[in-house]
Structure 1
Amino acid sequence: MAVELNKPVADFQAAATSGQQVQLSALKGQQVVLYFYPKDSTPGCTTEGQGFRDQIEAFAKANTVIFGVSRDGLKSHENFKAKQCFPFELISDKDEALCQLFDVIKLKKLYGKEYMGVDRSTFLIDAKGVLRHEWRGVKVPGHVDAVLAAAQELAKA
């Protein structure tokens, strides 16, 4: 059962960097940004992560925590996070449980080959655990600003 706008997101638990287990229900009272990206240390994914990194204080002021999610393992995530100085955790979704919940696995094409991959997508969950915004098929330029504006607006509501 995939997520739906303006409906509560099913509770989940997932392994993340820094030895953390992220559990949605434990984050109640804070807004949560989950951004799904295809692969650690690739150009678009690096730029997107840097955007969230550079706006971390503004997100914090809007009572919003950020998590990056991809199918990469924790070792790859730890290296990516350290190299880019990300002040947020990266969730490893090797079994694709979160990818399925948020319906982000799509048919993609690269150099004429078709494969199933992560469609760059971002989700904003309110402080009560309800999905309030979703961005699918994200283009990186300007995206973090749009997510921040939505988080700030939601924090005021």
Structure 2
Amino acid sequence: MTVSIGEPVPDFTATATGDTPLSLSDLRGRQVVVYFYPKASTPGCTTEGGDFRDRKDAFEAANTVIVGVSRDGIRAQENFKAKQDFNFPLLSDKDETVCRLFDVIKLKKLYGKEHLGIERSTFLIDADGKLAREWRGVKVKGHADEVLEAARALHAGQ
């Protein structure tokens, strides 16, 4: 089963930075941005995380929580968060449970070789737990601003 616009997002739990479990249901009543990135501490992922970090106050003003997800282990996530001073949780999804729920594992090519990896994607979940928007195959530049505008519009409409 994968998520669909307008449908409730099934609850999931994964290990978050701080080595604590985080469940989607813990965030009910707030909008949630779940963004998937291929690998911690790589240039594009660092830029994307920084863009969300720098807009956290604006997201908070729109009653929106930010959560980053990759297949990296919790130690790599902790290091990435600390080094980049991210002010939101990162989830370790080594078993790809959350990635598969959102259907972000795709066949990719790197240096001519094919492999399965995370397609950079972002999802906006409304305060009732329904999927409101999705962005797949994301280009980092300007993306956090676009998501912020969508979060503001969704919040204003509630």
Q: AA paired with 1:25? A: S
Q: How many residues align?
A: 157
- The CA distance in 1 between the partners of 2:17 and 2:82, in whole Å, is 10
Greater Cα shift, 11-20 or 120-129? 11-20
Whether 2:95 is the aligned partner of 1:91: answer no
Q: Give me the whole-angstrom Cα distance separating, in 2, the residues matched to 1:127 and 1:67.
A: 14
CA-to-aligned-CA distance 1:91-149 (integer Å, 9 cap, x gap) = 00000000100000000001100000000000000000000000000000010000000
Aligned to 2:28: 28
Mapping for residues 62-141 of structure 1, pairs under 5 Å: 62-141=62-141
Structure 2 counterpart of 1:146: 146
Q: Which amino acid aligns with 1:67?
A: V
Task: State the secondary structure of the residue aligned to 1:138.
Answer: coil
Using the size of structure 1 for normalisation, the TM-score is 0.99
Identical residues among aligned pairs (%): 65
Q: Tell me, what secondary structure is at the counterpart of 2:18?
A: helix
Structure 1 CA distance for aligned equivalents of residues 52 and 73 of structure 2: 21
Secondary structure of 2:153's aligned partner:
helix
Distance, in Å, in 1 between the alignment partners of 2:27 and 2:88 is 14
Q: Find the aligned partners of 2:77 and 2:23 in 1 and give their Cα distance.
A: 18
**Residue in 2 aligned with 1:52?**
52
Q: Alignment partner of 2:99: what SS?
A: helix
d(CA) in 1 for partners of 2:127, 2:37: 23
Q: SS at 1:148's partner residue? A: helix
Cα root mean square deviation, aligned:
0.5
Letter in 2 for 1:115: H
- Distance in 2, Cα, partners of 1:55 & 1:36: 17
- Cα distance in 1, alignment partners of residues 26 and 92 from structure 2: 18
User: Where in structure 1 do 4 or more consecutive aligned residues deviate above 2 Å?
Assistant: none
- Kindly provide the amino acid, as one letter, of the partner of residue 88 in structure 1: F
Partner of 2:15: 15
Q: 1: CA distance between counterparts of 2:92 and 2:9?
A: 19
Runs of at least 5 residues in structure 2 that lack an aligned partner in the other structure: none
Q: How far 1:26 sits from its partner (Å)? A: 1.6
Gap regions ≥5 residues in structure 1: none
AA aligned opposite 1:61:
A
- AA aligned opposite 2:124: L
Q: Deviations over 1:47-94 (max 9, x none)?
A: 000000000000000000001000000000000000000000100000
